[in-house]
Structure 1
Amino acid sequence: MKNTVETRLAELGITLPDAPAPAANYVPYVRSGDLLFVSGQVSMKDGGFVTGRLGAELSVEQGAAAARLCALSLLAQVRAACEGDLSRLKRVVKLTGFVNSTPDFTDQPKVINGASDTLVEILGEAGRHSRSAVSAGALPFNVAVEIEGIFEVF
């Protein structure tokens, strides 16, 4: 992708956050060949966590908005890994989304759609990916969503 990613972000009025620092003893991403493995990004807004459980405190729409924030953090990590050059992003390969939800909540895929839709909106066909969307009984800091990703870069 040429510099179309930055252009598309500007067209959509989206400013990526700074790549969040790891919260423990791990690195935010690892590159192996052309694959970039990005550690789980949690739902954050305005420097704070987006918290709560789906099926209790949060609606599907609120969860999808939290997942969108995770997608933007994932892209911020990709940008950092590519030394600020998002034109080096070839495609999104896979997302794994974890949704902090009650035992009877079954709309995890609708929540993670917030991230998937965002990546396709920004990257077009290169944003289409394989995916898993699973329930979690709890997530760190009581965040609503955590998403990890695999990206192809050059």
Structure 2
Amino acid sequence: MNAINTRLAELGITLPTPATPVANYVSFVQSGSMLVISGQLPLGSDGTLAEQHKGKVGGNVTPEVAAEAARLAAINILAQAQAAVGDLSRIVRIVRLGGFINTAPGFTAVAPVMNGASDLVVAVLGDAGRHARSTVGVAELPLGAAVEVEAMIEIA
């Protein structure tokens, strides 16, 4: 077992089966050493979006629950990365995470919500998980999700 799989086990994380695209796009694209993961929703291990992860952050979804949703979306990013390259030990670095937060009008505390995803990749990958990041509040997300996260990953 490699160090990343050991760390996932220590954190009690089992990577789910990666979600399949629901429109005209692919889940990931590899170009040279760069792997781009399409936006991931906080789908559970059963492939569904839990009711608590639907809605507007700062409205019917608390920032704490939204941060949990961002963490789950980051787990789904790792699942897509594993599907793409076969072994997470090929990750050299998470280059960038992009977070989209489905916000209620006037809610501006999007950065702490996105920390759910950022903290997860650093916990799993250590320094290789430290990344650049953009986080924006949006009016709506697919399936009414509270959060969506995308990634750019350098691989060996």
Smaller-chain TM-score bracket = over 0.9
Give the number of equivalent residue pairs.
152
Which residues of 2 match residues 95-106 of structure 1 at below 5 A?
95-106=97-108
Aligned residue for 2:136, secondary structure, equals: strand
User: Deviation per CA, 1:10-38, whole angstroms, max 9, x where unpaired?
Assistant: 11111111111111110000001100000
Distance (Å, rounded) in 2 between the aligned partners of 1:20 and 1:118: 19
Partner of 1:143: 145
How big is the shift at 1:47? Answer: 2.8
Distance (Å, rounded) in 1 between the aligned partners of 2:38 and 2:120: 18
Tell me if 1:56 matches 2:55. no
Query: TM-score, normalization: structure 2?
Result: 0.94
Which residues of 2 match residues 5-154 of structure 1 at below 5 A?
5-45=4-44, 46-49=46-49, 50-83=53-86, 85-154=87-156
Q: Could you list the structure 1 runs, at least 4 aligned residues long, displaced by more than 2 angstroms after superposition.
A: none
Distance (Å, rounded) in 2 between the aligned partners of 1:3 and 1:152: 18
Distance (Å, rounded) in 1 between the aligned partners of 2:105 and 2:95: 29
Q: Where does the alignment leave 5 or more consecutive residues of structure 2 unmatched?
A: none
Amino acid at match of 1:47: G
Deviates further, 112-121 or 45-54? 45-54
Aligned residue for 1:48, secondary structure, equals: coil
Q: Percent identity?
A: 50
How big is the shift at 1:103? Answer: 2.0
Distance (Å, rounded) in 2 between the aligned partners of 1:4 and 1:96: 25
Q: Where does the alignment leave 5 or more consecutive residues of structure 1 unmatched?
A: none
Distance (Å, rounded) in 2 between the aligned partners of 1:65 and 1:149: 17
User: Deviation per CA, 1:115-151, whole angstroms, max 9, x where unpaired?
Assistant: 0001111111010000001001011110010011000
CA-atom RMSD in angstroms: 1.1
